[in-house]
Amino acid sequence: MSGAPLGELAALFAKLGTIAFGGPAAHVALMQDEIVERRRWMSRQRFLDLLGASNLIPGPNSTELAIHIGYARAGWPGLLVAGTCFIVPATLIVLGFAWAYVEYGSTPAGEALLYGVQPVMIAIVVRALAKLVPTAARDWLLGAVFIAAIVLFLVGINELVLLFGFGLLVMLARNTSRLGRGAASAIVLPLGILPFAQDAAVPVTLERLFLTFLKIGAVLYGGGYVLLAFLQNDFVDRLGWLTQQQLVDAVAIGQVTPGPLFTTATFVGYVLEGVPGALLATLAIFLPSFLLVALTHPFIERMRASTWFSGLLDGVNAAAVGLMAGVTFELGRDVIVDVATSLIALAAVVILFAARINSAWLILAGAVCGLVLQLL
């Protein structure tokens, strides 16, 4: 394997891991811009297939997309390089915040930084959606799935039900001639988190810490809000290792730092067991993603070639882009709250559509705007 693709992957994903604020939708938008538009390493359809495959397995979707891209670009070495370089910058930043938290009893809020950066991230996602929607919703059925996914997400339907439900719906719709008249007309996908028995006075150990985060990384669907539920269930309620306030602080750190929100595990690990705990917790929560991508990636081409699974993948892709749009709408309501944030978002949208500019510069400009406005 040539070192050139590995060097390119390392540089790109280290940069993305450093500037990728805003959660999974923003991460996907940045990757789409860099991978499809700027570098042209793959087509939009291939990118969407990798995104759809990431949504079909548990774990942090944007991180798994990075791992898939690395695998597609440079095989096994690329898988390891892309995933690691995307995770490490956020891990180091969170580790620094965790140290400050333990030493000084407070967390850096980062409000000024986020005030300017988040409207820019909204603009970046809007531009990515403008590029991805024509491919994901390329016929009337997929267009209907895209719109329905947005509406149902906004009214509170579970995102996993939407992804798998619409995937199965499109698969069945495209293969009706192969089905008998008695085929089921409804799809029921029971999902949930199985509670574990309450443990009494469990001592903190590195082994237990590692295994708990390994379990979370192996079974967690649904992103940051579901991660919060798992952390509450395991570390506050079941094990009693964290207080409610520590959990809130851990999630706050994950939100104000770039890269995957799952680096919240780094913070929790450091608070409980110092640097060894931080490293083991980070390794444990991300390890299943590397293994699952390695197992599923070789089958993506076969899924696309199959009449049945091609429909499943198309349905998941359309629903995933619909969810991305729904999340962006909800985040936009929380982020664009006054004249200043409206102007920042509008300026970023205009620049992105009018000029071919690297998103990193816009993110930096947004951060500067936020800091200047805070000082004023």
Q: How many C-beta neighbours within 10 Å does residue 95 have?
A: 19
DSSP 328: H
pLDDT at 252 (0 to 100): 66
Length of the chain: 376
pLDDT at 194 (0 to 100): 38
| Whole-number Å distance between alpha carbons of 133 and 131 | 6
pLDDT at 302 (0 to 100): 79
- b/e sequence 206-231, b meaning 16+ C-beta within 10 Å: beebbebbbbbbbebbbbbebbbebb
- b/e sequence 332-348, b meaning 16+ C-beta within 10 Å: beebbeeebbeebbebb
pLDDT at 162 (0 to 100): 84
In the chain, what is the greatest distance between 2 CA atoms, to the nearest angstrom? 68
pLDDT tens-digit series, residues 207-264? 999 999 998 888 776 555 557 667 877 888 788 898 877 876 777 677 667 888 888 8
List Cα–Cα distances, 118 to 178, 226, 346, 374, in angstroms.
48, 22, 12, 15
The answer to whether residues 114 and 102 touch, using CB atoms and an 8 Å cutoff, is no
Report, as ranges of residue numbers, the positions in the chain whose pLDDT lies below 50.
Answer: 1, 181-198
pLDDT at 190 (0 to 100): 39
| Whole-number Å distance between alpha carbons of 82 and 69 | 8
Q: Report yes or no on whether pTM surpasses 0.85.
A: no
pLDDT at 179 (0 to 100): 54
| Structure tokens that stand for 80 in this block | 């390891």
| Whole-number Å distance between alpha carbons of 342 and 313 | 36
pLDDT at 261 (0 to 100): 81
